[in-house]
Every structure is written in C-alpha cells, then in structure tokens.
A and B are shown apart, each in its own frame.
Chain A
C-alpha cells in the first residue's frame, strides 16, 4: 500500500468519524445516559487520534488526545454530560475537522486565530480533566498496584495483553515506521515491557539495509478491545505476522505462539522475561510437549487436554470473525466523484451516439439493423439509468447537518426547538445535494426565526412550549420533494399584503387569494421581519432561495395556516445530467425546452401573426399571453417559415409563449454545460448534442419568462 493512498483513506475516514462525533454529540444532549452513544463517541475520537498517530500528524494527535481523555472520564461516569460540555465538545469536534482539513489541503500550520482557539479549547477541556495529561508511552511505575485476578488452572498468571509482531520486509520501503505503531500502541494502554527481536536479520553480507527484519514482543496493559489493538496494525496486517493474546490467555496459547513463530525456543524465554508466562508454566508446558507423541502437533494435543475451555474460546473467536465478515460485506466501495462524473459523461456520449445510430438505422431499410439498434437503445437506457443511480446519495447526511444548525440557532434565539427528520433515506443526485444545502439552511433558519414563536407566546396559545421543525423528503413522480415545516404561527397575511401594496407589488384594489398572498414573500426584497435579528432580515430574502432552487430546475411553494404552522415544499428534479426535452426548430437551429415546463403548444394563426407584428402578446383563450420570438431574440436570419407555433411554458406562477417555426417532439436530452465564455448569455441554460451530431441549445425558461415580463412592463408603462 502506498502511503499517499493510506493517507487519503485516513482523511476520508477521519472526516466521517468527525461527522459521526458531531451527530452523536447532537443527540447525546437529550439522552445523557446513552452508554452506547458515549462509547461510540469515545471510539471515534480514539480512532482519529490513533490513525493520526500512524501518519505522525502530531497536532491532530495532541489535540484529539485531550478530547479523548475528557470523553474517557465521561465514559467512566466521572463527568456528567451537560449543555456546556456538549457545546465544548462540539467546538472541539469542529477543531478536529479543521485539523483534518489542514491535512487534506496540506497546510502545514494553523493560522494565529485557529491556534488561539485551540489554546482556548484546550484550557476548557483541561478544566474537565483537572490536570493536563501529557501524551507519553509510560514505563511501569514503581510500586504500581498490581491487579491480581483469580486465575484458573491453566491460565497464565498475567493481566497483560501479549503482542507478537513480525513486520513484513517491505514495511520500511512502504514508508511505515515500526516506532510509530509502538508510540500509538502506547496511547491504548501502558506498554509494560517491549523486547525487540532481530533474529530474522541475515548475516551482514546478505542484509538489505532497506528491508525490515524487526520483530517485537510486547506486554501491554490495556482496557481496549482486541479489535482496537488489532486496529493499530491495520495498515500492515497483510504483510506482517501479528499475534495478539488477550490477558490471562491459556498457557497453551502461548506455547502455540512459540511454535508458530520462527524464533523457536528463545521465544519461550522471552515470554518468561516479558512476564507473559512464569518459568514454571513454561517448563510444564514444554514437558507436556515432549511427552506427547512427536507426530501430532503440540497445539492439538494441548487443546484436547483442555477441551473444556476451548469451545468457549472458539465460539468467541468465531463470533468475532463473523462480525468482521459481515462488516466487510456491507462495506461500500469508495469511488472518486470525478471518476463517477467521467462515467456519467461517457454514458451521455453513449446516449447521443446511440441516438445517432438509430437515426441512421431508421433511414436505412433493413429490419435486422432496426432490431439490433432497438436492443442497443434499450440497453443504453438501462446503462444510463444505473449510471445515474450511482450518483444518487441519501439526503440524510444533508439533513443531519441541520441538527447542528437547529441546536446552535435555537440557543442563539433562546427558543426550545426540536428537529424531526423523515425520509432521510430518500435518494437524489449528489450534485443536487451539494447545491441544495444553502437554500435549505435559509429555510430552516427562517422557520426558526420567524416561524416558531417564543415559548411564552406558544404557551399563551395553548401550544407545547417546545417548537418542532420538521424536515421531510420523499419521491414524487420523477422528482424529489423536500419539506421544511414548522409548527409556528403561520404567515401574517395582513402584514404581507400591506407591505406588498406599499411596494406596489399588488394594486390597492386587486383581489388576491390567501395562497397568492403567501407566495408574495418570494418576491425580491420582500421581508416582513419587523425586528432585524442576527439571523434573518439582512436583506437576503426568500427570493434568493427561490432563485437558487429555480437554478436547479426546481420549484418552491408554501402552505401556511394561521396559528398552525408553515410548510415550504421544494420540488427538485432527481438529476441534473439528463432530462426529458422538447425539441423545436427556428430556421435551421434546434432548441430544447425542458419538457416539464411545457404546458401546451398552439399554432400562431395568420391573424395573430399580423397583429403581433407590433406587440408581443397573443390572446390565448381570452387570456393575455406575452411571448418572445426566438428568431428575434437570437437574431436568426434564416428565411422565416411558412408557419409559426407558440410553445406555452410555465415557471412558477408565470406563463409565457415562445414563438418557434417548427415543433419536433420529445427527446432524451443529455445536458452539457456551456463554457464560461457563455456564462453571461441570458436565456440559454446549456447545450446538448442531437442524434444527428448537431448541437442544440437548451433554453433557460425561467430567465426567458422574466424577460417577457420585463418587456411587457416596458411596453405598457408609457401608456
């Protein structure tokens, strides 16, 4: 294994563990006596520290060590979990995240502010410890109280783990250092004694100075589990021989060890020296070995003689192995997101290429070719679907981030708010997940700030003093729906209407439904907060949220009931890579309109064509429909067609018409982003390649609709 790769693994794992710590910390406040959670927390910190030790990330080790020590006291019941401790640990967890981040970006040192923060955290953490605990490999202290356990007949009389390590020859070449394993092992417990073995080293002439010939016999006093101790050697397990005997192992186990490892008789002496066996135990064991017939392996005979205990041990071992197996079965493969994107791109190309092939096949007479291409098309569709599925991730991790947000914000606002999460397992495209975080955060903060009332106000209304914020996700006909709902007071329609009239968004005498009033909050610059708080009311309003969601080709709507609460419903496409499109033609150019925005299409009658020469609207069944001629918009100078069609599109509450020459029908559209050069182009959302190899531009409908609205106001205002 290359070190770089190992480091990458470490970074990913450390990141996951840090997230896990945060998640546990957030849940632990409500269940301070959850032993499992506390243990899991300790383990997470411990594992981060341990792996960091292997890579000599000293800053991370030193800091995590203190965190771990505090958690150790919590685990032992010496410290009680309370809000302050959780807050401190959360901050510490953040700091660990930061340190891991530094490793990721290969930043050597912390900034001055970070260091200051670390010192602050360390001071607070040490406050919980009573005294700073230096990190060191301790030698057995004189006069240390020896723990004497009742020893049964054939158990060796010692309380220490015994580790026999024979490192692989390539260990050093692979950039590992045995010393770092031992230093790390020292953090798991106390290294009582350690004896190096160099008997594998050949005579000087044959010795390769870059090979590792080292072995170690170690007596370790530790409360850690066998798994944890084994974990120290995870990175070298494959190439090295590692034997770990738990405390009070049977004499026979030690003898088996002597037999297994090549150092033969000397190892027996070493086991005595290290305190694993007494001289008497060794002699008795060895004499038993001599008495037994020579053609039967020692281990078997001894096991026979102690058959009472063996099944117990075996059962335990089997269980352990079984646990490890199942763990490996469910293990997912980590794939670089870039590789996945590359695959999706290729699949996109494949979709285009196969469309081209079937187009050709259709032009050619020959039913066999038709058949072949139709099979290919079907397979390509399946490949496309499963490739897109690969990029699907559960929304749960995004939701869980809000545990932290809700906790922090409710403290800040001194409101008591619970977060309830439903549908965390709902999947959606990773790129969508990444982009939905910010708008969701805004919705959540908004709900907490404006939606949920203060405890006294709630009690006055007969509601429970604790507010509830719900995050819910589910699939609904090809899109994912994410709901953010609160059980607050609902929107204040009178206030919204008043404000809307003030700003001229609604005419004074205009009749408007309650739901329409609610949706006014998505208008730019609209904020009803009478009180500017730290959180909202900074001019970033719902319109920003709406724009962000529209940019993802999603929609947002809301449902509000006075005194009961408000629900925001965000609807997003499952993927951003491939959509159903509606292909149209203007002159010789093809355009694609996202199909879910198309309402209908009608032919522009001769009469309308004449009339609409001057103005840009038509009468659609008694309704005024503003439109845009794509020919004019994109300055296409081909000869106009005989006829024109209007495609009626909708985005949110607004409708508009797009005038085109010809309607070509539906098609699977692989969205290709346009280069940066075209970023300023309004009205174009991307491009796609048609089966014929031609490029078609994908229209950005929301932007076009806005343009028609602006054009309409411009034309009507002078009159």
Chain B
C-alpha cells in the first residue's frame, strides 16, 4: 500500500483497489499499524473499486479503534463502489463526522 504522504504525526494512505474478504486480513494489519503510529490518518478511498462487508467492517472497526486511542481517522474521496455499498447499508453519512452505529 503506497504511503502518499507521511510524517511523525500524519499519514495519508491510498487504499488499494480491492477491499474484500480476500484482502481483509492484510488490510486490517496495515491500517491498524498506521493508526497506532500516527495521530492523524487519512485514508484515500478513490481507488477502491471493489468492497464488500468484510472491507466495510474494517473501516468501521478502524473508526472505533481510533476513537478509543484518541486519534483521528478521516476517510476521503469515496469511490462509487464505496458509496454504493454504504448506501445499501444505510450508512451514507458514516464517514461524515457524526457518530453512526459504530
């Protein structure tokens, strides 16, 4: 996963194309490491062309974990695939700052 920008407190990650059950395990390890090491993590979702419930769960967990660790995670540039899945599950506003069912 290419780190687009990174410094001691801030990390910007461009997520890979596939966020499914097949990549979930890897994804979890990498993302959580990033959140642990940086105060601010920004995830760029523009390249995600395939996402399923497993991928979504990781994002939900990530958000929850960040809150617990008092760090911030932001999700930017949602790809159409991500938006579609969010809308199926009624989570359109999930990545806005409001707290939704996480």
Contact = CB atoms under 8 A, between A and B. Distances in A.
B53 A172 contact: yes
Given A183-B88, A194-B90, A201 B57 contact: yes
B58 A209 contact: yes
A210 B54 contact: yes
Contacts of B90: 191, 193-196
Contact of B52 (A179, A195, A204): A179
Among A204, A207, A212, A213, max chain B CB count under 10 A is at A204
A121 B58 CA distance: 44
Nearest to A191: B90
Interface in A164-212: 171-173, 177-179, 182-183, 191, 193-198, 201, 203-204, 207, 209-210, 212
Contacts of A212: 53-54, 57
A182 B54 contact: no
B58 A172 contact: no
B94 to A, nearest CB: 8
B89 A209 contact: no
A172 B56 CA distance: 12
A163 interface: no
Contacts of A191: 90
A496 B32 CA distance: 90
Among B52, B54, B65, B102, max chain A CB count under 10 A is at B54
A202 to B, nearest CB: 9
B4 interface: no
A23 to B, nearest CB: 36
A173 B88 contact: no
Contacts of B49: none
B67 to A, nearest CB: 11
Contacts of B25: 209-210
Contacts of B58: 209
A194 to B, nearest CB: 3
Interface string B16-55: 0000010011011000100000000000000000001110
A379 B49 CA distance: 63
B53 A195 contact: no
A481 B88 CA distance: 58
B88 A209 contact: no
Nearest to B60: A198
A203 B67 CA distance: 12
B65 to A, nearest CB: 5
B80 to A, nearest CB: 14
Interface in B47-96: 52-54, 56-58, 60-61, 64-65, 68, 85, 87-91
A210 B24 contact: yes
Contacts of A173: 21
A699 interface: no
A195 B85 contact: no
A216 interface: yes
A207 B60 CA distance: 12
Nearest to A201: B61
Contacts of B28: 204, 207, 209
A183 B89 CA distance: 9
B61 A207 contact: yes
Contacts of A207: 28, 57, 61
B101 interface: yes
Among B56, B68, B88, max chain A CB count under 10 A is at B88
A337 B83 CA distance: 46
B52 to A, nearest CB: 5
A194 B91 CA distance: 8
B53 to A, nearest CB: 5
B65 A198 contact: no
Contact of B65 (A179, A194, A204): A204
Given A173-B21, A198-B60, A210-B25, A179 B89 contact: yes
Nearest to A186: B88
Contacts of B53: 171-172, 177-179, 212, 214
A427 B1 CA distance: 64
B23 to A, nearest CB: 9
A225 B43 CA distance: 43
B52 A196 contact: no
A137 interface: yes
Nearest to A273: B101
A182 B21 contact: no
A222 B41 CA distance: 42
Interface string A639-680: 000000000000000000000000000000000000000000
A689 B28 CA distance: 65
Nearest to A266: B101
B57 A177 contact: no
A179 B88 contact: yes
Nearest to B92: A139
A312 to B, nearest CB: 33
Nearest to B23: A209
Among A171, A193, A198, A209, max chain B CB count under 10 A is at A209
B57 A214 contact: yes
A196 B21 contact: no
A603 B57 CA distance: 88
A213 B57 contact: yes
Contact of B27 (A171, A198, A203, A209): A209
Contacts of A196: 60, 89-91, 101
A172 B54 contact: yes
Contacts of B89: 178-179, 182, 194, 196, 216
B82 to A, nearest CB: 12
B99 to A, nearest CB: 12
A201 B88 CA distance: 20
Nearest to B28: A209
A389 to B, nearest CB: 46
Contacts of A178: 53, 89
Nearest to B54: A172
Contact of B101 (A137, A182, A198, A204): A198
Contacts of B27: 209
A204 B60 contact: no
Contacts of A204: 28, 32, 61, 64-65
8 contacts: A183-B88, A195-B101, A196-B89, A196-B101, A207-B28, A209-B28, A210-B24, A213-B57
| 10 A-B pairs closest in CB distance | A194-B90, A209-B24, A209-B28, A204-B65, A178-B53, A196-B89, A172-B21, A179-B88, A209-B25, A172-B54
Given A179-B53, A179-B88, A212-B54, 4 more contacts: A183-B88, A191-B90, A207-B61, A209-B28
Interface of A: 137, 171-173, 177-179, 182-183, 191, 193-198, 201, 203-204, 207, 209-210, 212-214, 216
